[in-house]
């Protein structure tokens, strides 16, 4: 007699994620979140939505997304990711008044306009983050004004890990610290391809961002554009104290030497480290204000221009070229660079691009006119002597203008060539170029 054994295997099949339409399926966004389960999407039609005092995600792993984007879909309430929102909720495509991230929440906020447009007496007029892993992508923090710290964003808590990718901070205000962003208490912050434009700071420091006790803050391929020359800035980037900071591939374009300083870091521990690399800084009084600095400082492949000093507690700093970056049209906020710029890879201090912006225009120059005054004379030879022999002296502008004998180098032989041209009927600069 044969026996047959029937083995039944039960497979766990996940339920299909649902899409809840607002206002068709549920009248409000909050009702949509309440009805949703983890993995569901709440799809919101264009319009203005008054969700009461606070719109809450209720600890659910849901995606709340608008159909038409932030330009036509507005949440008139504060949005809160609270304790328990740890799985990764998403908010995408809205204009919102303010975002609050509670303890250990891990949201993603994408393509949102955070725009409060009123004076508040709170930390973080646009966004307050207690702790958690938070990602902002393609967001705009605009017109968020506080009489406290952190106009655009305020971050605190040792468990805060916050990243901003392709975000903009415009016209945010803080009375005390960090008009764009203020981060404290061992938080970790990273900016990638972000723009800081025309922040307003009233009293203390960190016009674009202030790091007060951060473990780490990194800015890669970012731009920092303050207000016009009538605005007196106070320390664009404040790092006091910080364990590790790195600015890489960034462009700081200040209004001139009435702007106090770009980077300020006072009295750090010996373990602290600041790295500034492939960055252009133009138009300020102090490039670095490092009074009492005892930590590690690395400056590499940078271009500094239109400044009064570059020093760390009265000690000179190397690793940069004192050169005009040759922005294409700075009066109209075009900070791409000329093909002959010292920020272009062909002419930079290290053979790599410097700053956030690529080559965007061409320009003309007179060969041998090292000081860019429109004529070739003895002042150009003096300019080249200083450039060759005095560290930190102003480069020829553009750099190629100093190569009078066309040997692809700028050195003492170009000085000799110019003197022969000026005083001994020698050949014209670049006359023997191939």
Question: What is the pLDDT, as a whole number, of residue 8?
Answer: 43
Q: What is the tens place of the pLDDT at every residue in 140-178? A: 999 999 999 999 999 987 779 999 999 999 999 999 899
Question: What does the alpha-carbon distance between residue 185 and residue 179 come to, in Å, rounded to a whole number?
Answer: 18
Q: Return mean pLDDT, the chain.
A: 88
Q: Does the pLDDT value for residue 115 go beyond 70?
A: yes
Question: Do 120 and 147 form a contact (C-beta atoms < 8 A)?
Answer: yes
Is 18 exposed, middle or buried (CB count within 10 Å of its CB: 0-12, 13-18, 19+)? middle
Neighbours of 77 (CB within 10 A): 19
* Domain locations along the chain: 19-305, 364-423
Q: Enumerate residues 6+ apart whose C-beta is below 8 A from 70.
A: 93, 94, 95, 111, 112, 113, 140
Strands 95-101 and 113-115: parallel
For range 342-354, the mean pLDDT: 96
Comparing CA positions, the residue from 158, 161, 180, 156 lying closest to residue 169 is: 180
Q: Does the pLDDT value for residue 339 go beyond 70?
A: yes
Question: What is the pLDDT, as a whole number, of residue 256?
Answer: 64
What is this structure's pTM?
0.91
174 sits in which H/E element: strand 173-174
Identify the three-state secondary structure at position 33.
Answer: helix
Q: Does the pLDDT value for residue 431 go beyond 70?
A: yes
**Residue 295: pLDDT band by 50, 70, 90 thresholds?**
confident
**Residue 12: pLDDT band by 50, 70, 90 thresholds?**
very low
Q: What is the tens place of the pLDDT at every residue in 191-207? A: 999 999 988 877 778 88
From residue 119, alpha-carbon distances to 143, 144, 146 in Å are 10, 8, 5
Neighbours of 349 (CB within 10 A): 19
Q: Does the pLDDT value for residue 318 go beyond 90?
A: no
164 sits in which H/E element: strand 160-165
When mean pLDDT is compared across 193-202, 242-251, 274-283, the lowest value belongs to 193-202
Q: Does the pLDDT value for residue 6 go beyond 80?
A: no
When mean pLDDT is compared across 136-150, 288-302, 380-394, 417-431, the lowest value belongs to 288-302
Comparing CA positions, the residue from 255, 254, 261, 280 lying closest to residue 357 is: 280
Domain 19-305, second-level architecture: 3 Solenoid (2.160)
DSSP for residue 59 = T
- Residue with the bigger pLDDT between 340 and 317: it is 340
Looking at the domain covering 364-423, what would its CATH class be?
mainly alpha
Question: What does the alpha-carbon distance between residue 163 and residue 74 come to, in Å, rounded to a whole number?
Answer: 24
**Residue 11: pLDDT band by 50, 70, 90 thresholds?**
very low
């Amino acid at each position: 007699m044969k026996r047959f054994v029937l083995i039944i295997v039960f497979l766990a099949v996940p339920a299909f994620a649902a899409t809840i339409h607002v206002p068709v399926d549920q009248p409000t966004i909050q009702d949509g979140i309440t009805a949703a389960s983890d993995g569901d999407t709440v799809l919101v039609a264009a319009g203005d939505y008054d969700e009461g005092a606070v719109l809450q995600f209720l600890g659910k792993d849901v995606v709340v997304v608008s159909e038409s984007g932030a330009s036509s879909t507005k949440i008139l309430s504060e949005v809160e990711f609270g304790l328990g929102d740890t799985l990764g909720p998403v908010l995408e495509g809205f204009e919102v008044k303010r975002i609050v991230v509670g303890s250990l929440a891990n949201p993603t906020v994408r393509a949102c306009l955070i725009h409060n447009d009123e004076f508040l007496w709170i930390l973080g007029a646009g966004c307050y983050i207690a702790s958690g892993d938070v990602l902002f992508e393609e967001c705009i923090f605009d017109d968020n004004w506080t009489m406290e710290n952190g106009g655009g964003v305020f971050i605190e808590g040792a468990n805060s890990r916050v990243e901003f990718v392709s975000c903009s901070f415009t016209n945010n205000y803080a009375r005390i610290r960090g008009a764009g962003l203020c981060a404290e208490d061992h938080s970790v912050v990273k900016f990638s391809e972000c723009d800081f434009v025309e922040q307003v700071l009233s009293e203390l420091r960190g016009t674009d961002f202030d790091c007060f006790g951060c473990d780490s803050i990194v800015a890669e391929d970012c731009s920092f554009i303050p207000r016009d020359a009538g605005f007196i800035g106070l320390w664009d980037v404040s790092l006091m104290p910080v364990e590790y900071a790195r600015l890489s591939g960034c462009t700081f374009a200040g209004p001139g030497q009435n702007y106090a300083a770009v980077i300020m870091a006072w009295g750090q521990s010996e373990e602290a480290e600041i790295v500034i690399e492939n960055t252009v800084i133009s138009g300020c009084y102090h490039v670095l204000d490092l009074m009492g600095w005892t930590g590690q400082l690395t400056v590499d492949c940078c271009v500094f221009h239109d400044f009064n000093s570059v020093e760390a507690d009265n000690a000179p700093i190397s690793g940069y070229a004192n050169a005009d970056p040759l922005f294409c049209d700075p009066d109209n906020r075009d900070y791409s660079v000329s093909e002959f710029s010292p920020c272009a890879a062909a002419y930079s201090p290290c053979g790599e691009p410097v700053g956030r912006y690529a080559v965007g225009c061409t320009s003309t120059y007179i060969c041998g006119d090292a000081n860019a005054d429109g004529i070739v004379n003895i002042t150009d030879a003096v300019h080249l002597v200083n450039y060759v022999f005095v560290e930190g002296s102003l480069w020829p502008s553009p750099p190629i203008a100093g190569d009078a004998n066309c040997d692809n180098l700028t050195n003492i032989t170009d000085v000799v060539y110019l003197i022969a041209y000026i005083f001994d009927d020698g050949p014209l600069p670049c006359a023997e170029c191939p």
